[in-house]
Every structure is written in C-alpha cells, then in structure tokens.
Amino acid sequence: MAKDIHCPLPGVFYRKPAPNEPNFVEDGASVAAGTVIGLVEVMKSFHEVTAEEAGDNIRFEVENEGQVTAGTVLAKMD
Amino acid sequence: MDLTGKTLFVANRGEIAVRIVHAAKALGLRTVQAHSEADADMLAVRLADEGVEIGPAQATKSYLDVDRVVAAARESGADAVHPGYGFLSESPRFARAVEAAGLIFVGPSADTIERMGDKARARETAIAAGVPVTPGSDGRIESVEAAARIAGELGYPVMIKAAAGGGGRGIRVIESEADLAKQMPAAQSEAEAAFGDGGLYMERFVDKARHVEVQILGDGDRAVHAWERECSLQRRRQKVWEEAPAACLSQEEREALCASAVRLAESVGYRGAGTLEYLFDEARREFYFIEMNTRIQVEHPVTELVTGIDLVAEQIRVAFGAPLSLEQDDIRLDGHAIEVRVNAEDPAKNFMPFPGVTGAMHLPEGVRFDTMLYEGYAIPPFYDSLLGKLIVKGDDRAAALARLAEAIDATRLEGLKTTLPLHAALARDPDVARGDYHTTWLEDWLKTAGLG
C-alpha cells in the first residue's frame, strides 16, 4: 500500500539542504522512519520534513522550490 | 511644495507599504503599488490607486529584482520610487538604477548608501565627524604582545574579531591576559580556515549593552534629529519592542548622543530619513556608534508619537527637493511611546511561524496599529512574519506601560497566533517596568521565567 508524506506547513519545499548540495533523498530510494526528506521555508525560517514511517521506492510529487500548502503530498512510498 | 498629481511607486509590501501609501495620499500623490503574484490581495494594493505585478512569490524574482522593479516603476509613469525598509532599500545599485531611469529615489544618494553600508568606511566616517565608536585596536593586531598592550588600555573583557568575519561569526570574548595568550593563536587559525584570512582586530566588550539609536532627517544641506529610541528587547538579534525616548539616558547624555548623530549626517550631506545605531555602555555611561541605516525603520512610529512629526511624509517631501520643514528647536519630546511588533509566530511553540487566515479583528480606541491585516486576509508564507505594530503613548513611561498592557488585553485577532501574549507578559514584568534590561536580557528571560 502506498504511503504518503504530507507537508506539515505552507511555504516553499526544498529537496536539498543548500543550492549546491545533493538532494536529501533521491527518487527510488528506501528511507527509514525519521529520515529528513526535505525542508519547508515558511516566513524566512526553515523546518525539516521527516518520513514518519519507513518505506521503499520513494517518489517525489513536488519539485525542488515548489510552493506547498499544509497537507500537500510531498512524496509517496511503498 | 505642491506634490498634487505626482506619482509615487511603492517598491515594498506588508505594513510599511500601507504606511507609505497613506502618507503619499495625504500629500496628494497618486500611488502605484508593486506586488508579487502571491501579494495581489494585500492591503496596500487595495488602498493604492493602482497595483502592478512584478513577478512570482519568491522575493529574489520580484521585490529583489532591480531591473524588473525599475522597469515596472518607469512603465507606471511614476515620478519617484519609495523602497520602504528591507528588500532594495539599502541597495546602491537599485538607487542608481532608479535615478538612471530618470526617477527620484526616496532616500539618500547611492554613494551615501554605499559608504554607510560598508562597516569600516562607516566607522572612519564616524571618527572623522567626532562620533564615538567602540574603543578598539587601530586596525589589525599583529602579535600577542601588541594585543596585550591594547587590551590593557581598553580594560578586560575584550573581544577579538576576525577582520574578514561578519554577522557575529569569528568573535571571541577574552577575560584576561592569560586567556589572550591562549586564545589568540587559536582564533588566528580559525579565522584563516573560515575566511582565508587570519587577521584579527580587538574591541572593548560591552557587557549588558543597551541598544539606542537616533532618528535623523536631512535635506542634503542641513540635518536635524528627532531624538532617540531604545530597542534593547531583542530575540535572535531582532528587535521585538521599541521605545522613545530611551529611559536609560540623562537629558545631558541624550543631547550629546543626538548632537553626534547630526554631526555625522551633516558630514555626509545626508538626504532623507536615517537612523544611527549605538551601543550604550550603562556601567561606563558611554555610547559608541555601530552602524547607520539609510532608510525608514520599522520602529519609526514611536518617534512620530513623541515628536508629532510625520517622518514618511517629510522623507517624501525632501526627496522631491523641498528643504526640511523643521528647525531643530521645533522638535520637542512629549511623553513616552512604546511599540510592540506583532509577528505571525506562536510564542508558546518556540515562535513557530503561523501564516493563517485573519478572522475578526478588534482594536481598542486610542492606540495606533500599523498593520497589513484585514478581516479575511490569508497571510502568505513567503515573506517575513511582521503583521503589524501596536503603538501606545503615555505622559510618562509608567503610563505608557499601563496603556500597553490594557491595549493588548483588549486586542482581538481571531484565527491567528501572534506574539501579543509575549508582549502582554513583558508589559507586566518587573524588570521591564524598572527599565532593567539589555540586548540579551530577553533571550535569558525566555529560557528562565519565560511564558511559564
């Protein structure tokens, strides 16, 4: 069954810690519970988004620097 | 000077854009309000005569895009551009581009912005104008022996700072000569590693410093001050609460401080509104210039309430070439004003941002609330969290504090989490009532007494 990772806050979603660095997690990877999968910038402050449970074959639904609202599905996993 | 029919382009957003539109309208100006895609429904757009979209939500592609903002201003038929605070307000490149497009920049010349924006040049300018700066080494310290000699003259504790550092990085506090001998080599290699330059300089460390600042106005020939403010209540180096005048100063100290600011402003032929920031060493009763902000500031309303001057209107008139309408002797202090910043942050959850939808609003009579909010407004998550400023005035500081506590209790902003509960607690705090605080007091208070 697919598992969704929801965005906790509205703002801008970043897949990498800084512009010149690699993504936190690449598409297709397996993640453990608590893994940081991205950042949300809200009102000039940055908040980590973590996977609440473990999953395989992660597929991102939102691009780097995409605008999000609270509840947006950021990624799906198996 | 009659400005009727002239057009002002407002290159900012939020509460300051609202403030500028109101001031411009009162002067008879037509207003064009710039906005990003995410800001089409903001209050300043509703109040202005016209709104112009300048790009996507991200500030780097809209409010910070010099070419785009200048092109939009020119196409709108504007005569002048008001940059507000933040964004491009202290960009010499922006000021030059506005003037190159044949428009008036509401602020000082690009050269003045550049000169005062460079810390080392600003310090030299201050020294040349006879304005006290933080005592320290004259340039770099070359050896531990030389450093020890200077530290002996300044008195411990001192700070050593990386010459190439900035923003609070590369700073060490040194307590004694033994400490200096131990820490200086480490600081050198750390600076070399971090900044590619091992150079260090030394300044006196001001413990329990207070932040005071002087409001000045200039027309290019003459400058006046509108007295000072105190902004020592800060969190993460951000001011949260501001007052005018500074209760920690005697009248003699106040006059010396404000006169020094006017000397500096006149020495650079300053035009517009500006603020000189100082540290006040309460133990030594000395003030030291730190930097100048060449724009209107968030906390300008406290000065307006105690002097009766409309700073934004004066700033606009001077930009259009009018001489200052005020003589120094006309500017008198009356009463005491306090401003608290109402941010979209939840103080009960470590100041987590809260970009919600504004419900019913109720503000008490007789207080000033400079705000971007209206009922039904959805606060965008893309910009800073300042929603507005609640400003009160009393005959004296105690009266202003009492007024503030009452005003906060009577304020309702439904649907939002804001920093008002923090201010309600501070307004009743005994240390705040005694004026017994400094620039790191609030951080300590939040860790200990805090919000309970």
Domain CATH number, residue B439: 3.30.470.20
Enter the DSSP assignment of B379.
P
Q: The CATH number of the domain where B158 resides is what?
A: 3.30.1490.20
Mean pLDDT of the B28-49 span: 98
Per-residue pLDDT, B184 = 92
Pick the residue from chain A with its C-alpha nearest to B343: A43
Q: Which of B11-15, B129-133, B363-367 has the lowest mean pLDDT?
A: B363-367
Claim to verify: residue B102 and residue B198 sit in the same structural domain = no
Q: Are residues B102 and B160 in the same domain?
A: no
Nearest CA in chain A to B56: A67
Chain A interface test: which of B238, B379, B382 (most A C-beta within 10 Å): B382
Q: How many domains does chain A have?
A: 1
B225 plus B253 within the same structural domain: yes
CA distance B407 to chain A (A): 26
Q: Is ipTM strictly over 0.90? A: no
Q: Could B384 and A43 be called an inter-chain contact, meaning their C-beta atoms sit closer than 8 Å?
A: yes
Q: What is the 8-class DSSP label of residue A66?
A: E
Residue where a domain stops, chosen among B166, B187, B204: B204
Q: Is B238 an 8 Å CB contact of chain A?
A: no
d(Cα B231, Cα B252) in Å, to the nearest integer?
Answer: 20
What is the structure's pLDDT at B193?
83
Cα–chain-centroid distance for residue B119? Answer: 16
Assess B411–A contact: CB distance below 8 Å, yes or no.
Answer: no
Facing A10 at nearest CB: one of B345, B355, B385: B355
* Lowest model confidence (mean pLDDT) among B56-60, B116-120, B323-327, B407-411: B116-120
User: What percent of chain B lies above the pLDDT cut of 70?
Assistant: 99
State the catalytic residue, choosing from B30, B295, B341, B403: B295
Same domain, B218 and B359: yes
Q: How far is B61 from chain A (nearest CA, A)?
A: 13
Task: Say whether B384 and A12 touch across the interface (CB within 8 A).
Answer: no
Same domain, B65 and B196: no
DSSP code for B415: T
Q: Is there a contact between B353 and A42 if contact means CB atoms under 8 Å apart?
A: yes
| pLDDT class of B138 with cuts at 50, 70, 90 | confident
Question: What was the pLDDT predicted at B64?
Answer: 97
Same domain, B217 and B346: yes
B322 and B178 in a common domain:
no
Clarify whether residues B333 and B356 are in a common domain.
yes
Q: Which residue has the higher pLDDT, B6 or B448?
A: B6
- Alpha-carbon gap, residue B95 to B258, rounded angstroms: 27
- Which one of B183, B204, B225 terminates a domain? B204
SS3 label, residue B347: helix
Beta-sheet pairing, A66-68 with A59-60: unpaired
Q: How many A-B residue pairs are in contact by the CB < 8 A criterion?
A: 29
For range B124-132, the mean pLDDT: 95
Instruction: Give yes or no for residue B344 having a pLDDT over 70.
Output: yes
C-alpha distances (whole Å) from B1 to each of A50, B27, B70, B221 are: 60, 10, 26, 18
Asked if residue B87 is part of any domain, the answer here is yes
Across the beta sheet with A36-42, what order do the strands follow?
Answer: A45-50, A36-42, A11-14, A66-68
| Alpha carbons B315 and A18: distance in angstroms, whole number | 39
User: From the CA atom positions of chain B, what is the Rg in Å?
Assistant: 23
Q: If you measure CA to CA, which chain A residue comes closest to B38?
A: A67
Q: Indicate the length of chain A as a whole number.
A: 78
Place of tokens 């202290």: B90
- Nearest C-alpha neighbor of B271 from the set B238, B309, B344, B222: B222
CA distance B400 to B165: 40
Partners of A66 in the beta sheet? A13
Same domain, B283 and B424: yes
The answer to whether residue B67 sits within a structural domain is yes
Structure tokens at B186: 């480490």
B127 is a domain residue:
no
Nearest CB partner across the interface for A43, out of B57, B58, B385: B385
B150 or B142, which is more confident: B150
Counted domains in chain B: 3
| Residue B217 and residue B195 in one domain | no
A12 to chain B, closest Cα gap in Å: 7
Contact B292, B122 (CB under 8 A): yes
Check whether residue B310 and residue B434 sit in a common domain: yes
pLDDT exceeds cutoff 90 at B163: no
- Residue B2 in domain: no
Report the distance separating Cα B11 and Cα B296, nearest Å.
13
Q: In 10 A of CB A65, how many CB atoms?
A: 13
Which CATH number characterizes residue B64's domain? 3.40.50.20
Phi/psi at B437 (nearest 5 deg)? -155, 175
Mean pLDDT of chain A: 94
Say whether both B181 and B214 belong to one domain.
no
- Tokens representing B280 are 């006040």
**Smallest CA–CA separation between A26 and chain B, in Å?**
25
Rounded-to-integer distance, Cα B261 and Cα B194, Å: 35
Pair A42, B381: CB distance under 8 Å: yes
Q: Where are the alpha helices (DSSP H) in B76-176?
A: 92-100, 110-117, 119-128, 144-154
Mean pLDDT computed over B330-355: 96
Tell me the C-alpha distance between B293 and B335, whole Å. 25
Judging contacts by C-beta atoms under 8 Å, the chain A residues touching residue B383 are: 43-44
Q: What is the pLDDT of residue B452?
A: 58
Judge whether A27 and A54 are in contact, CB under 8 Å: no
Range(s) of the domain holding residue A32: 3-77
The larger pLDDT score, comparing residue B168 to residue B103, is at: B103
CA distance B344 to chain A (A): 9
Residues 45-74 of A with CB under 8 A from B: 45, 65, 67
- Answer whether residue B411 is part of any domain: yes
Contacts of A65 in chain B (CB under 8 A): 58
Q: Mean of the pLDDT values across residues B41-58? A: 97
**Does residue B121 sit within a domain?**
no
In the prediction, which pLDDT does B192 show? 86
Strands B386-394 and B336-343: antiparallel
**Of B158, B173, B204, which residue constitutes the final position of a domain?**
B204
Q: State residue A43's pLDDT score.
A: 94
Interface test with B, best of A7, A14, A42 (most B CBs within 10 A): A42
Residues B408, B338 contacting (CB under 8 angstroms): no
Structural domain of B358: 210-447
Task: Give the CATH number of the domain where residue A19 resides.
Answer: 2.40.50.100
What is the pLDDT averaged over residues B291-307?
Answer: 97
Alpha-carbon gap, residue B196 to B177, rounded angstroms: 26
Residue B167 has pLDDT above 70, yes or no: no
The answer to whether residue B449 scores a pLDDT higher than 90 is no
Nearest-by-CA chain B residue for A69: B381
B295 part of the active site: yes
> Would B130 be classed as within a structural domain?
no
DSSP reduced 3-state for A14: strand
Residue B23 token pair: 């001031």
Query: What's the start-to-end Cα distance of chain B, in Å?
Result: 55
